[in-house]
Amino acid sequence: MFTRFERRSAFRGSWLLLLLAAFIFACPTGQALAQEEPVATVEATATEVADTAVTATAEAVEAVPEAAPEEPAAPSYVESSVLDGIWLMLTGTLVMFMQAGFAMVETGLTRAKNAINIMAKNLLDFCFGSLLFWVVGYAIMYGTNSGGGLFGFSSEYLFMGSGLDIAGNADGFANAAGWFFQMVFCATAATIVSGAMAERTKLSSYILYSCVISAIIYPISGHWIWGGGWLGAMPADGGWGMRDFAGSTVVHSVGAWAALAGAIMVGPRLGKYNKDGTANAIPGHNIVLAALGVFILWFGWYGFNPGSTLACHAGVSYIAVTTTVAASAGSVAALFCSWIKFGKPDVTMALNGVLAGLVGITAPCASVEPWAAVVIGFIAGILVFCSVLFVERVLKIDDPVGAVSVHGVCGAWGTISIGIFGSQKVDVLFWDDASCIKDGLLYGGGVSQLITQIVGVVAVFIYVFVAALILFAILKYTIGLRVSDVEQIEGLDLGEHDMAAYPDFQVTNIKSYQIREA
């Protein structure tokens, strides 16, 4: 039996089948329909269609306007000057980021109660220094020679006036890129001092120091070597032909020798030395933070060294190689020195070994072969270990982060190493036949380049150390250089800033908290 729904469906299906059959028998095939139309009519229709198509085509052709002359195609390349400017900006920002690395290293290797003060100094030396370098520093460093290459000055670079006149000066953009790149190098030299004088130096005195080194001290020695002065100019131009590719001496040693003078003038931290002269260890509060700072600095160094080509150059990858292997060798050497001396591997020494290798290779990174870079970095790692102990235990100079050893001693070593390991066939690839170095001692070039490098290192040391010593002495006997003992005990975060970096983890006596017994 069918249900009601099944019967209705069957009924509808039967009618549909009948209608489909009737349609098939009633309609002729496609072929029959075509045959029923007369042939003549089809031909006439085809002719009319063809005539219409021809007419439409002719009208369309007449309607097309006359083609406009083709414009010259845009160049498929970027001008080299633009690429050079972009290269300086990219690498310059890497160097600027090194400020964060210095801040992390210095904060991690010192006590928590001084963290804010160290951060403030690393921030403010950049801010004040960049302004002073804009006002007058660049005009001195890259100005016209005078006094036999001892001084430089160009009024067009005061406040970077006409030098940055991008509307009336075709070199305005290039000058802007050059100023920015050199400014971040100046800031690096200035900030080295904060680590060596940490935990006992007045912020106001430090700011004044930052202004003077950025406006005068750094630009003068920088002019000697990089600005066409008496050290950097080639012998044919009346100079010594000293080579410091990326600043082992120009930047790092200048900052370190100023730091040495400052550490001497400000004196050691409370509790650093006993009455018998023996030194006490004052551990940093966060080695992880210090390690992060070293990684940031290493990262930024790929702007520091390769960027010093000052142009898009195929050799930047080569410089990255020498930079990397030297840093690694420095860390390995310092690590094993501490392991042998103390019986345990000292991570802080390994971290300083990285920086020692980086500083050491900064001057010769484009003048030596990779194997020589490894040797230079390895020796730098040994030097930084020995120097840290010598400065602390023999010279009795309190340098909380080892800045003098890392940047001063290893900077001098890196600069001098060019006279030993320098290869003319490498150096000429980044310069030219007229301005490349002479072969170093190990390449049969004699002692000529070695003597030149030593003269440069000694000259910069004497100038910077004496100038900084005078500067810090003036600050010490006028506005004061050292905070009070009470501020040292409480911490400079409270004494100088009335703040605490870790308020939830520190017992403080900060006045603004109004901590009183109930």
Are 47 and 171 members of one domain?
A: no
3-state secondary structure of 201: strand
Is the domain of 107 the same as that of 18? no
Spatial separation of the C-alpha atoms in residues 239 and 225, rounded to whole Å: 10
**Same domain, yes or no: 340 and 443:** yes
* Residues 15/21/26/30 CA torsion (nearest 10 deg): 130
Do 196 and 55 lie in one domain? The reply is no
Instruction: Report yes or no on whether pTM surpasses 0.75.
Output: yes
Task: Specify if 513 maps to a domain.
Answer: no
Asked if 23 and 150 sit in the same domain, the reply is: no
Say whether both 413 and 479 belong to one domain.
yes
Distance CA 76, CA 73 (A): 9
Domain assignment of residue 37, given as a range: 13-60
* Alpha carbon distance 140, 223 (integer Å): 7
Query: Which regions of the chain are under pLDDT 50?
Result: 1-47, 49-50, 53-54, 56-58, 60-61, 63-64, 510-518
Q: What tokens appear for 200 in the block?
A: 């006992």
- Report the mean per-residue pLDDT for the chain: 87
How much is the pLDDT for 340? 97
User: How much is the pLDDT for 489?
Assistant: 95
- Go through the chain and tell me how many residues it has: 518
**Chain-centroid distance, C-alpha 209:** 23
Could you tell me if residue 277 is left (phi over 0), alpha (psi between -120 and 50 degrees) or otherwise beta? Answer: left
Q: What is the pLDDT of residue 119?
A: 97
Distance in angstroms (rounded) separating the CA atoms of residues 54 and 42: 19
Task: Report the number of distinct structural domains present in the chain.
Answer: 2
Contact by Cβ (8 Å): 316, 83 = no
- Find the DSSP H helices in 343-447: 347-362, 370-393, 403, 410-421, 424-427
Which pLDDT does position 399 carry in this prediction? 98
pLDDT tens per residue across span 8-18:
444 344 444 44
The encoded tokens of residue 57 equal 């085509």
